């Protein structure tokens, strides 16, 4: 074990284990043994903490939807020990009501967390920023990512009205002569 070193004052019987560049495999129970004297110390548990990877919101960084449609946002924070806690934030306030799930990874130690937040259409504005913040004991201040909401207003595709109060005639080649004032919102 090249990363393990016993240090201390051996003449007084003081021995300490130094582990350099701690890895997840070091998460274990350790004990000191004096083989000639047939003595053992009490077991000591080393718990290795692993920060989650940077959180990711599906569909980000801009999430577009049609006006009036609800929105489900999904954020995942992977490979953490212990599993990450996820908090959703909008305008500095925590949003409640998200659903969470955790998955234990194949190594049996790390976990991935997924959180899904439902937003009703009456509770969103275009340009709003929604933050997903993931934290655990390894990163108590958390890591965050965000998306910006882009609400597409419904447009009537049959409308030929320009925003300047002019109506467009249908023609193969458009020119200024193809525009006429609109009357009562109808085509001339």
Q: Quick check: 8 and 15 in contact, CB under 8 A?
A: yes
pLDDT value of residue 20: 92
Q: What is the pLDDT of residues 110-126, one digit of tens each?
A: 999 999 999 887 777 88
188 pLDDT higher than 50 = no
pLDDT value of residue 146: 96
Q: What is the pLDDT of residues 147-176, one digit of tens each?
A: 999 988 766 555 444 444 444 444 344 444
Contacts of 77 (CB under 8 A, 6+ apart): 52, 53, 54, 55, 56, 84, 86, 112, 113, 132, 134, 143
List Cα–Cα distances, 134 to 45, 57, 83, 106, 145, in angstroms: 26, 11, 9, 21, 9
Bigger pLDDT: 84 or 39? 84
Q: What is the pLDDT of residues 37-76, one digit of tens each?
A: 777 888 889 999 999 999 999 998 999 888 888 889 999 9
């Amino acid at each position: 074990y090249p990363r393990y070193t016993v240090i201390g004052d051996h003449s007084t019987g003081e021995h300490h284990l130094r582990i350099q560049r701690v890895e997840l495999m070091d998460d274990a129970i350790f004990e000191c043994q004096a083989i000639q004297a047939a003595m053992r110390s009490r077991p000591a548990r080393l718990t290795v903490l692993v920060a989650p990877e940077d959180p990711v919101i599906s569909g980000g960084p801009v999430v577009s939807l049609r006006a009036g449609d609800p929105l489900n946002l999904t954020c995942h924070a992977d490979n953490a020990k212990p599993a990450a806690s996820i908090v959703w934030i909008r305008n500095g306030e925590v949003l409640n009501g998200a659903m969470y799930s955790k998955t234990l990874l194949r190594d049996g130690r790390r976990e991935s967390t997924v959180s899904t937040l439902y937003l009703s259409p009456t509770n969103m504005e275009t340009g709003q920023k929604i933050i997903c913040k993931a934290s655990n004991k390894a990163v108590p201040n958390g890591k965050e990512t965000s998306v910006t909401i882009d609400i597409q207003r419904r447009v009537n595709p049959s409308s030929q009205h320009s925003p300047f109060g002019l109506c467009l005639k249908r023609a193969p080649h458009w020119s200024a002569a193809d525009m006429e004032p609109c009357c009562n919102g109808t085509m001339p």
